[in-house]
Chains A and B, each alone.
Chain A
């Protein structure tokens, strides 16, 4: 079974600073990995996904993530934070080779605060 750990339930950055949200996964096979963003009182929106193609994945709103097999990580970054990036971010994993490939297992989320 796969699992995801998000380090840091709350992260604060200043506007214009680098955003780094950490995600480590556990999977017995190369996984599919996802980052979702949730704005207040809304559903989850896909930011980006890794599905075994390029290890550096670019997403919406200037975010990107790099799949590092040796570190079992899929950290989310953005070079310069904007006030509108304040939201909760979820990392998720699926096992593409299992019968439950369509299911996602989510991390517990990281609340990003952007300070003016």
Chain B
């Protein structure tokens, strides 16, 4: 069955370190998204991609970057982790109007 996976599921890092969160989907979807989930805010869009070599900034993109070198993967990089980036991160993919979500990565920045 097609699926979307995220790794790692849990990560603890220190302020200032670079961190990369992986997202891999086997749906062959063109559209991929990264969100962060924080209490009281729901999900907020960080970055998104509508195809290979296409990346766009979302609502809360400061301090994050993405790259899309193939259809299956959209890694999210925190250039210099900050405590404010402690959150749960979700990746999603879609073809059309329905998004399918990964299981999430819980990131703690100390």
Contacts and interface: CB of A to CB of B under 8 A. Distances in A.
A51 B92 CA distance: 19
A38 to B, nearest CB: 9
Contacts of A32: 97
A109 B103 contact: no
Interface residues of A, number: 23
Interface of B: 31, 33, 35, 40-45, 48, 50, 58, 90, 92, 94, 96-104
Majority DSSP secondary structure for residues of A touching B: loop
Contact of B40 (A9, A51, A96): A9
A108 B101 contact: no
A24 interface: no
Contacts of B100: 46
A70 to B, nearest CB: 23
A82 interface: no
Contacts, number: 51
Contacts of B99: 46, 104
Given A43-B103, A43-B104, A106 B43 contact: yes
A12 interface: no
A90 B45 CA distance: 14
B50 A102 contact: yes
Given A43-B102, A106-B35, 6 more contacts: A36-B101, A42-B104, A43-B90, A44-B101, A46-B98, A102-B94
B42 A102 contact: no
Contacts of B45: 103-104
B101 A43 contact: yes
Closest 8 CB pairs of A and B: A43-B101, A106-B42, A108-B42, A44-B101, A106-B43, A43-B103, A102-B31, A109-B42
Nearest to A51: B97
Contacts of A106: 35, 42-44
B7 to A, nearest CB: 13
Nearest to B94: A102
A7 to B, nearest CB: 14
A21 to B, nearest CB: 14
